[in-house]
Structure 1
Amino acid sequence: MELKDLKEGVNTLAGKKFNFAVPVRNLTTILTSYGWKRLPWRHEIETGPHKGIPLILFLSRDGRARFAVGLIEQNIPLKVKISLDEENGRYNIEMNLRAMSNIQIYKTEDRKSWLDSIRKYREVVGIDPPQFPKGAYEPVFCSWYGIHHSVNQDWCLRNAKIAKELGLTTFIIDDGWFFDERGKWGSYIKTGDWMVSKKKFPKMSKLARGLRDMDMRLLLWIAPFMVGKQSETFKRLKSCLIGEESYGVRWLSPAKKNATNYILDKMDSLYKENELDGFKIDFVDALPDGKGLLNFYEGLQKLGKNLLFEFRQNYANLFGLQVGAVYRGLDTPLDFEKNLENCILLRAFTPDVPIHTDYIYWYRDEKLENMAKHMIFSIFFVPTISMDLEKLTKEEKNVIKNWIRFHREHRDILFGDFDASIDGSYLGARKGERAIYALFKPIPLAFENLKELHILNGTEAKEIYLDIPENLKFQEVFKRDFTLQSKGKFSNPVRVERGGFVKIKEVM
């Protein structure tokens, strides 16, 4: 069946396997919630309640959706195979369900921009996001890259004090809190019992109260379905485990009531006994099957009022919106460009959710302008940091502190109408007649109907030049370098240093 044979909008079909063809004309990119591909020979994705969003877009060079196809239902496991039929000049799309089903397939050829096409799909799906808890939009510090499994109470308290000075008011204790040893990176054989190590955290509730006194909140990492073979849970709930053992780990099935009850009871105890403000929930997408996940998500919502949950990108989908969790980009240590790309995808597919960057991290002796580039992209989302703050220089702290301040001062614009190129060339946000744009490649930008504009230089170029059109009547230009120290007023053309920005303001 040609995709064009489907009517525009929603089509109700019955079956287990569906095949469509898309002509390869004026196509350059295939886009899904997992990322974009430059016309691959073959591409496969899997979606379900525990991973991904069932939408595929075929884009032209100008970023418009020539074709888009997806499921309306978000809880049905789906496997999609896309293969290039070179001889007939088309892409073959094979959509496979696990069982015969009546489904609704969405299709459009409206040729809207990729962002608008995704927005239209979301409107048709019709999932309304919940209210998000206090702190969902607050900048975050996470222990992971700073200390890994060696995390402990004293280190957390010392770093929390610095984090607060930098403007980071949510503190996440990552993996390592539930066993006494230092631990080994990539090993999860002790997961499943979720008992706080009294050696590392003799009084976690005291730490939580100390953070609360600083107007901070405390979240705890947990991989709720992961069970390591050295845990008591591995033996006690063996009948509830699914998936083959890999790296000493299996998974509790969310479809098993006693497994879900065990997880929720354990999280409830951790929350109450340690006076937590929420959880960083990990590895949901590693489940062999998302069956029964709804019960777990409904249980999360009943744990406590205003608890904050963090979901990672692969399961940060439309099905998970009901929880009211913040969504974080995939792990990309050091790579700000990939972090940027991931966050653009998240904000495009789930624009109503507080989108958190992956934890920003750099090695010692990094250039200040490169640090600023990390921060420049992060301000369009919720900035998150993970490093040993005690080892930062004064200059490094200033870069973080100043950009976090900029983020707070301009949050109403930054969380306004979102604009971005699919390849991450630029990011923009606008509210009324005020806008903020960040360039990551030296490309021309046109802007109109504005009274205030910030241009941020996140490119590799040492400096970029802006020629301000006279008809816009911009008369004041304030320039700042990457430490946000004022450099005075400048006239046309405006020079923007790498890692810095200019503020252009109309004077009536």
Structure 2
Amino acid sequence: MAETAVPGFAEPARLWADARHAAAVLGAQAGLLTEGARLAVEPGPAGARQLRLSAAADTTAVLRLDVPLGDAAGYWHPSAGWDRHLTADWASRWRTVGPAESAPLGCLYDTAGRALLAFGADRPAATTRVRFGLAEDTARFGAWLAVELRAGESCRVVLQPAGSPVAAAVRALGAALAVPDALPVPPAGREPAYSTWYAMHRDVGAADVEAEAKLAAAAGCGVLLLDDGWQLHAKGTGYSGSGDWTPDPAKFPDFAAHVRTVQGLGLRYMAWIAPLIVGERTAAHRKFAHLAPHAIPRLGCRVLDPRLAAAREVAADACVELVRRHRLDGLKIDFLDLAAAYADLDPVGGTGAAGRDDGTGAGGGASAECGTGAATAPGSTPSGGGDGGDAGSAGGAGDVADVGEGLRLLLADVRDRLRALRGDDLLVELRQPYTGPGMLAFGNLLRAADCPGDATANRVRTLDLGLLATSGAVHSDMLMWDRSATPQTAARQLHSALFATPQLSVALAGLPADQHAATVFWLDFWRSHRDVLTGGLIDAGRPDHLHPTVTAQLGQRAVAAFFAEHTHARLPLAGRTETALVNSTAADRVVLDVEGAATAVRLDTFDACGRPAGSRLRTLGPGPAAIAVPPAGLCVVRPA
């Protein structure tokens, strides 16, 4: 999350000042620390409570939620990444969240993985500032939200009751804050996908992509994503050649015909686009640099300012024309997080985030040519921020003050125009960090952030995404591995995407036979267990443990995946038609802790490539039982 500031609330002493309006809610203390707003407590869904912040005049409302530290073990939020520990208030900072990055919600939990403080604000569009931390002198943990409210505007903050598992508490928040008009997910969105990125990077061409598409369809994929490299000027590093969004005729002599060829294989076709990027080597740069004051010199590009109506029109037209002209099934919309650079700037000028280079993907400094002030489109007038109402149509709005509202308007325009072309079959991929609940109105494939070859990160990120994805299909980052490695290595990469929809991105042509067998076997396993893995009740344990064992249960079937040795999964066997045990470790056994009575079962085991590795009868339970499973292999437990 981008670091920011809230005037008057930099020091911990101010954060813990006496509240002007206070209320005790579900074991937490809620306090409004600023003038100009009112605080009311209202009933919420399923035992939750709602805090209503309302303003009679324009104001910044700062709300504190705090609880005793108790047995707290960590704090989770949508952009937590690896950092899930307890932060001291003096070491914390204000962060800006919104559609471009994360979401205004979080969950403090104890050593049993139960929620102590779980909250979320209904700010699907407008940017919000958040902070959290522990007061060491009082042993209380606080979370703060700074919300810009216009006269007559209100904001709803939902609190979940303490005591439920983290996953359940966060899912309930996601449901309570869900947008009413989520983009439908067509069946193809829940099929394994093939991406060209890690397999080919920018060295793509019609013949090679079609050859890989044929192999991907045979392996069980339902979607092909053509990533960066298809467009004119896509050479070298950086993004100086991105922005014109015209297919390179040397790579794709007839792009529309190529798309039809791939679709004829039974695959939906999506293409990568970064509509906010204006590369220095493009015609778009010559035309639209004045709409993109934020420059990233090391990437050779500028970023369109979505607060400007003219900039939104440029970006939306690029997306819609690409789909319309080539009859694509959807888009992979990338780098929306770069818009976060405009979070602290006035739309007609300023020296905030756009004037610094922090070394991150959203960094960079504006060049002397355009300065640091954001342009205003001719004939338009800035308007206020706020949450912009629901996630509805852009409605011809002009310039806006809030970057989150600008992104909402842009994405609403793109969504509405693309749905006019593709209806409910439209596919739109968004990736972390812009995958909060409010983005479900604009994207139906929510992908984990890039983590090439990192199975642990893929597992953690997809599980994090799944907590809030009340409607969209969660997709893994593209799966790749060393083609000279063992098939167990390939299998473990596929295991990392079990509880999401897998995306492959390893070159299938010439893939070693054992790796190919592992790929086909685990994709088949995923498809046959998709309802349990993506729609069942998930237990992933404590967030700070990074989910070493994950279980999913639905009806009479269950899946337990073991990602670390010396762990166990606790599940009942009685009444189950099947329990699948996935051993994603280098060990040759797993431990199943059987709930309830002893049960006579048949154990069928398979190695990483799906080859049978033995069958036997055994009585399991009650309590823990070690079960032999080949490394990166599978054991299917059924009634004897």
Find the residue that maps to 1:279 and give its secondary structure.
strand
**Does 2:619 correspond to 1:496?**
no
Whether the aligned pair in 2 keeps the contact of 1:329 and 1:357 (CA below 8 Å) is: yes
1:321-470 correspondence to structure 2 within 5 Å = 321-419=440-538, 420-421=540-541, 422=543, 423-441=546-564, 442-448=566-572, 449-466=575-592
Whether the aligned pair in 1 keeps the contact of 2:586 and 2:632 (CA below 8 Å) is: no
Partner of 2:354: none
One-letter amino acid of the structure 1 residue matched with residue 294 of structure 2: G
One-letter amino acid of the structure 2 residue matched with residue 358 of structure 1: D
**Does 2:297 correspond to 1:249?**
no
What's the CA shift for 1:344? 0.4
Task: Describe the shift of the 1:246–1:20 C-alpha distance in structure 2 as closer, same or farther (beyond 3 A).
Answer: farther
**Does 2:141 correspond to 1:27?**
no
- Please identify, of 341-350 and 466-475, the stretch whose mean Cα deviation from structure 2 is larger: 466-475
Q: Give the Cα separation in 2 of the matches to 1:253 and 1:282.
A: 15
Larger radius of gyration, structure 1 or 2? 2
- Please identify, of 94-103 and 363-372, the stretch whose mean Cα deviation from structure 2 is larger: 94-103
Q: Give the Cα separation in 2 of the matches to 1:94 and 1:278.
A: 38
Partner of 2:346: none
One-letter amino acid of the structure 2 residue matched with residue 33 of structure 1: P
Find the residue that maps to 1:330 and give its secondary structure.
coil
Find the residue that maps to 2:303 and give its secondary structure.
strand
Partner of 1:46: 96
Q: Give the Cα separation in 1 of the matches to 2:234 and 2:69.
A: 56
Whether the aligned pair in 1 keeps the contact of 2:103 and 2:437 (CA below 8 Å) is: yes
Q: Give the Cα separation in 1 of the matches to 2:596 and 2:77.
A: 41
1:86-485 correspondence to structure 2 within 5 Å = 86-98=136-148, 102-128=154-180, 129-180=182-233, 182-184=235-237, 187-247=238-298, 248-287=300-339, 288=342, 289-301=403-415, 302-303=417-418, 304-305=421-422, 306-419=425-538, 420-421=540-541, 422=543, 423-441=546-564, 442-448=566-572, 449-466=575-592, 471-485=597-611
What's the CA shift for 1:379? 2.7
One-letter amino acid of the structure 1 residue matched with residue 218 of structure 2: E
Task: Describe the shift of the 1:408–1:486 C-alpha distance in structure 2 as closer, same or farther (beyond 3 A).
Answer: same
Q: Give the Cα separation in 1 of the matches to 2:118 and 2:552.
A: 25
What's the CA shift for 1:244? 4.3
Whether the aligned pair in 1 keeps the contact of 2:124 and 2:437 (CA below 8 Å) is: yes
Q: Give the Cα separation in 2 of the matches to 1:392 and 1:136.
A: 26
Q: Give the Cα separation in 2 of the matches to 1:244 and 1:273.
A: 30
What's the CA shift for 1:238? 3.0
**Does 2:46 correspond to 1:10?**
no
What's the CA shift for 1:82? 2.2
Deviations 1:143-167 (A, max 9, x none): 1111212222222112112212221
- Please identify, of 325-334 and 88-97, the stretch whose mean Cα deviation from structure 2 is larger: 88-97
- Please identify, of 148-157 and 95-104, the stretch whose mean Cα deviation from structure 2 is larger: 95-104
Q: Give the Cα separation in 2 of the matches to 1:447 and 1:19.
A: 39
What's the CA shift for 1:433? 1.1
What's the CA shift for 1:245? 4.2
One-letter amino acid of the structure 1 residue matched with residue 562 of structure 2: L
Whether the aligned pair in 2 keeps the contact of 1:468 and 1:474 (CA below 8 Å) is: no
- Taking only the aligned residue pairs, the percentage that are identical comes to 23
What's the CA shift for 1:57? 0.7
Find the residue that maps to 2:481 and give its secondary structure.
coil
Q: Give the Cα separation in 2 of the matches to 1:384 and 1:103.
A: 37
Task: Describe the shift of the 1:471–1:23 C-alpha distance in structure 2 as closer, same or farther (beyond 3 A).
Answer: closer
Q: Give the Cα separation in 1 of the matches to 2:227 and 2:138.
A: 51
Whether the aligned pair in 2 keeps the contact of 1:279 and 1:308 (CA below 8 Å) is: yes
What's the CA shift for 1:98? 4.5
One-letter amino acid of the structure 1 residue matched with residue 53 of structure 2: L
Cα-Cα RMSD: 2.2
Partner of 1:505: 638
Deviations 1:194-252 (A, max 9, x none): 11110111111121111111111211100111112222222312332243444332222
What's the CA shift for 1:174? 0.9
Find the residue that maps to 2:405 and give its secondary structure.
coil
- Count of matched residue positions in the alignment of Structure 1 and Structure 2: 505
What's the CA shift for 1:502? 0.8
What's the CA shift for 1:96? 2.3
Task: Describe the shift of the 1:108–1:497 C-alpha distance in structure 2 as closer, same or farther (beyond 3 A).
Answer: same
Task: Describe the shift of the 1:182–1:229 C-alpha distance in structure 2 as closer, same or farther (beyond 3 A).
Answer: closer
What's the CA shift for 1:357? 0.5
Q: Give the Cα separation in 2 of the matches to 1:405 and 1:93.
A: 44
One-letter amino acid of the structure 2 residue matched with residue 446 of structure 1: R
Deviations 1:452-505 (A, max 9, x none): 211111134243355768934333221111111122312445311221111111
One-letter amino acid of the structure 2 residue matched with residue 222 of structure 1: I
Q: Give the Cα separation in 2 of the matches to 1:117 and 1:390.
A: 44
Whether the aligned pair in 1 keeps the contact of 2:96 and 2:128 (CA below 8 Å) is: yes
- Please identify, of 46-55 and 16-25, the stretch whose mean Cα deviation from structure 2 is larger: 16-25
Whether the aligned pair in 1 keeps the contact of 2:583 and 2:590 (CA below 8 Å) is: yes
